[in-house]
């Protein structure tokens, strides 16, 4: 079970998935009580809850693989920004509700492909987590794709807002498909798919949903990167300052 | 209790009732449920709309003080539990707005009234959550007080309201337990954590007592609502029950209830306690609580900023309908 893989690379890779869930879950949870309609308050709280649940699994496994006696909570609450491995996309500020939905859609369309591939992972623990998460994420994608379509093909204003969100966020999607030595190691061990191998299916989903939404595909744009290597935007520091406040202010306390 | 000082109608004596009203009252006295399509006195309908509406508003405004700590919850587990709880509260709002809709008022109309300051929500949500133990205190005391009121309301005379209460009560006991669980951790924690726990109890004790509304002797609205079984117990009965339940729990935590007058009364088999400062209660109800402005502003902003979203969905639904109609025409 993953014995052939370099444990440091495996740990790095698990932090990447876990941190994506944690930081996106944090952003989504910021909407609690503030969304445009009660059904969205419920849906977003539920989505944040799913993502935090997935974080517990991924970072829990990361801690186990690391083997230094750390816990998922310690990874979440006691690492500084440079040790976080999430992509820049998920730390983008919420903006308006359309921006939040578009970020979710672009992420979900990738997340579902990743999890489907991970269900076949050579590591049973990874496959098991993926099998649980894939059901939740299928629902996230169904919702976010549906809303992108309806708002794209809604009023002039909703269309303009969704287009702006798409144009703003699209340059942060390329990082989802990049690979380095850690990725290559987990791919070689059969633990995970090559990031680039998810691109065609993601492109197909995105193109189909955008076409139905009447939005204009941004095409080839500049792509930002850095999060997966720990080089983040200024936003992450504030997320962590808020998220980690109690653990930092009262070291050693249990909650 | 999420409905406070709900304005009811003056109590009618038997001689002043019409035959229809007498028959209606007799159904209620027999313990029958009143269903939406059935005849009901206008006053019954109006009082229920005010009460259920206020309750629904309390659930959604109630997301805000707890939502205030979701991003700062100290562990992943606590964050997940709090998210689940706040999601439940939004769900309660949904059930209750649906129950109110069966009385002929739309959710949008009720929200407009809330946003215009014409309808209230529970006074308790105008108090701030200042430290993490406040999240424990809210679950323990605020959900605890809500349960006191809502358990009897499962037997209320209006069918849809009663059924909403049954669903809601199932979830509320989980809310109270998670709150008490936070308090146990805090009270048994470091000196700083214990201080936070005591501070939370100090600030939430009297506001929680106020949730039941003013004393029965000053409560003008009770008699008719009780005859209609819209209100099952008096404010003072519920408050006493709440104190009797809560004081031993506070002692178990090793915390001090901030009431010098608190004394066990052997004769009544309950605790004697001090009244809250009712002038503070009336100030909060009138809009002068510590968070009234922020709470209402947050709701109004969410609604106004979301207008384009709701309009977009409506426009899309219309387009989709038109496309379906056109496809049907072409097929014929
Ligand atoms: Fe509730
Ligand atoms: Fe509640
Ligand atoms: Fe509750």
Task: Read off the tokens for A151.
Answer: 């708002």
The set of residues, in sequence order, having a beta carbon less than 8 Å from that of B66 and lying 6+ positions away, is B82, B85, B86, B89, B129, B135, B138
Query: What rounded mean pLDDT belongs to chain A?
Result: 97
Mean pLDDT of B15-32: 94
Distance from CA of B320 to the nearest CA of A (A): 9
pLDDT at B1: 57
B122 phi/psi in degrees, rounded to 5: -60, 140
Distance from CA of B298 to the nearest CA of A (A): 7
Query: How many distinct structural domains can be found in chain A?
Result: 1
Query: Average pLDDT for residues A14-35, to the nearest whole number?
Result: 98
Considering the domain boundaries, does residue B295 fall inside one? no
The residue segments making up the domain with residue B86 are 12-288
Confidence of residue A253 (pLDDT cuts 50, 70, 90): very high
Q: Is the ipTM of this complex over 0.85?
A: yes
* A94 falls within a domain: yes
pLDDT of residue A1: 45
Using a cut of 0.90, tell me whether the model's pTM lies above it: yes
Question: Does some domain include residue B321?
Answer: no
Which of A29, A33, A94, A98 should be substituted to probe chain B, the one whose Cβ sees the most B Cβ atoms within 10 Å?
A33
Residue with tokens 């706040």: B86
Q: Let me know if residue B326 belongs to a domain.
A: no
For residues A106-111, give the mean pLDDT: 98
Residue B269, domain CATH: 1.20.1260.10
pLDDT at B221 over 80: no
pLDDT for residue B9: 74
Q: Tell whether the model's pLDDT for residue A3 goes beyond 70.
A: no
Asked whether residue B308 is domain-assigned, the answer is: no
Is there a domain that residue B61 lies in? Answer: yes
Ligand located closest to B174 CA:
3
Mean pLDDT of A97-119: 98
CA distance A78 to chain B (A): 11
pLDDT at A164: 98
In a domain, A222, yes or no: yes
pLDDT, tens digit, 9 for 90 and up, residues B48-101: 999 999 999 999 999 999 999 999 999 999 999 999 999 999 999 999 999 999
When pLDDT is averaged across residues B157-165 and rounded to a whole number, the result is 97
Asked, for residue A255, whether it belongs to a domain, the answer is: no
Residue B319 lies in a domain: no
In a domain, A143, yes or no: yes
How many structural domains are present in chain B? Answer: 1
Chain-chain contact of A49 with B84 (C-beta, under 8 angstroms): yes
Assigned domain for B311 exists: no
In a domain, A254, yes or no: no
> Is A164 a domain residue?
yes
Question: Contacts of residue A46 in chain B, CB cutoff 8 Å?
Answer: 87
Picking from A153-162, A219-228, B7-16, B61-70, which range would have the lowest pLDDT averaged per residue? B7-16
| A188 within some domain | yes
We report the CATH number of the domain holding residue A23 as: 1.20.1260.10
Interval between CA B146 and ligand 2 midpoint (Å): 7
Higher pLDDT pick, A4 / A233? A233
Q: Is B311 in contact with A155 (Cβ distance < 8 A)? A: yes
Provide the mean pLDDT of chain B.
95
Q: Which long-range contacts (CB under 8 A, 24 or more apart) does A58-62 make?
A: A58/A14, A58/A17, A58/A18, A58/A21, A58/A129, A59/A14, A59/A15, A59/A18, A59/A19, A59/A22, A59/B76, A61/A14, A61/A18, A61/A125, A61/A126, A61/A129, A62/A11, A62/A14, A62/A15, A62/A18
Q: Nearest CA of chain A to the CA of B62: how many Å?
A: 8
Q: Is B318 among the domain residues?
A: no
- B116 Cβ contact partners less than 8 Å away, ≥ 6 residues apart: none
Q: How confident is residue A2, by pLDDT bands cut at 50, 70 and 90?
A: very low
**A164 Cβ contact list (under 8 Å, min separation 6):** A98, A99
| Mean per-residue pLDDT, A171-187 | 97
pLDDT of A122 reads 97
| Residue pLDDT, tens place only, A193-242 | 999 999 999 999 999 999 999 999 999 999 999 999 999 999 999 999 99
Residue A223 in contact with partner chain B when CB distance is under 8 A: no
A49 interface with B at CB cutoff 8 Å: yes
Q: Residue A13: what pLDDT?
A: 98
Q: How confident is the model at residue B217, as a pLDDT?
A: 78
Which of B57, B60, B70 to probe the A interface (max A CBs under 10 A)? B70
């Amino acid at each position: 079970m993953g014995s052939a893989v370099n444990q440091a690379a495996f740990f790095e890779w698990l932090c990447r998935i876990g941190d994506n869930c944690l930081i996106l879950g944090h952003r989504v949870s910021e909407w609690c009580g503030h969304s445009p309609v009660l059904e969205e308050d419920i849906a977003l709280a539920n989505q944040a809850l799913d993502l935090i649940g997935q974080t517990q699994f991924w970072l829990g496994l990361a801690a186990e693989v690391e083997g230094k006696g750390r816990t998922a909570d310690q990874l979440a609450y006691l690492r500084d920004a440079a040790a976080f491995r999430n992509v820049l996309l998920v730390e983008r500020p919420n903006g308006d509700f359309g921006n939040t939905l578009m970020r979710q859609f672009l992420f979900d369309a990738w997340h579902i492909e990743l999890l489907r591939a991970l269900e076949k992972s050579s590591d049973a623990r990874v496959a098991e987590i993926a099998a649980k998460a894939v059901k939740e994420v299928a629902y996230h994608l169904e919702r976010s794709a549906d809303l992108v379509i309806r708002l794209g093909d809604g009023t002039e204003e909703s269309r303009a807002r969704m287009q702006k969100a798409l144009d703003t966020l699209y340059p942060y999607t390329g990082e989802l498909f990049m690979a380095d030595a850690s990725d290559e190691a987990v791919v070689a061990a059969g633990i995970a798919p090559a990031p680039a191998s998810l691109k065609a299916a993601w492109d197909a989903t995105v193109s189909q949903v955008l076409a139905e939404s009447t939005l204009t595909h941004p095409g080839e744009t500049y792509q930002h990167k850095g999060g997966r290597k720990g080089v983040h935007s200024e936003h992450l520091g504030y997320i962590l300052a808020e998220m980690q406040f109690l653990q930092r202010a009262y070291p050693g306390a249990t909650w | 209790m999420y409905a406070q000082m709900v304005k009811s109608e003056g109590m009618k004596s038997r001689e002043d009732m019409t035959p229809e009203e007498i028959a209606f009252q007799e159904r209620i006295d027999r313990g029958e449920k009143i269903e939406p399509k059935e005849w009901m006195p206008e006053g019954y309908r109006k009082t229920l709309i005010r009460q259920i509406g206020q309750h629904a508003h309390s659930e959604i405004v109630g997301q805000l003080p707890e939502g205030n700590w979701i991003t700062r919850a100290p562990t992943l587990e606590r964050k997940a539990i709090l998210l689940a709880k706040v999601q439940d509260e939004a769900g309660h709002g949904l059930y209750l707005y649906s129950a109110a809709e069966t009385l002929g008022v739309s959710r949008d109309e009720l929200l407009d009234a809330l946003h215009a300051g014409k309808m209230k929500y529970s006074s308790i949500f105008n108090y701030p959550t200042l430290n993490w133990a406040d999240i424990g205190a809210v679950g323990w005391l605020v959900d605890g007080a809500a349960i006191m009121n809502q358990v009897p309301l499962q037997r209320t005379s209006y069918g849809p309201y009663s059924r909403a209460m049954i669903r809601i009560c199932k979830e509320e006991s989980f809310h109270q337990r998670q709150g008490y669980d936070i308090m146990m951790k805090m009270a048994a924690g470091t000196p700083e954590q214990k201080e936070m726990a005591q501070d939370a109890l100090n600030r939430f004790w009297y506001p929680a007592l106020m949730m039941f509304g003013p004393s029965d002797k000053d409560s003008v609205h009770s008699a008719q609502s009780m005859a209609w079984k819209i209100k099952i117990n008096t404010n003072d009965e519920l408050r006493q029950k709440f104190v009797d339940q809560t004081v031993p729990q506070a002692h178990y935590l090793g915390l001090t209830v901030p009431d010098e007058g608190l004394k066990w009364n052997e004769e009544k088999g309950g605790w004697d306690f001090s009244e809250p400062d009712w002038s503070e209660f009336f100030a909060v109800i009138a809009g002068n609580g510590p968070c009234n402005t922020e709470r209402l502003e947050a709701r109004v902003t969410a609604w106004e900023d979301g207008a384009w979203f709701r309009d977009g969905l409506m426009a899309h639904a219309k387009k989709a309908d038109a496309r379906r109609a056109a496809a049907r025409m072409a097929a014929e």
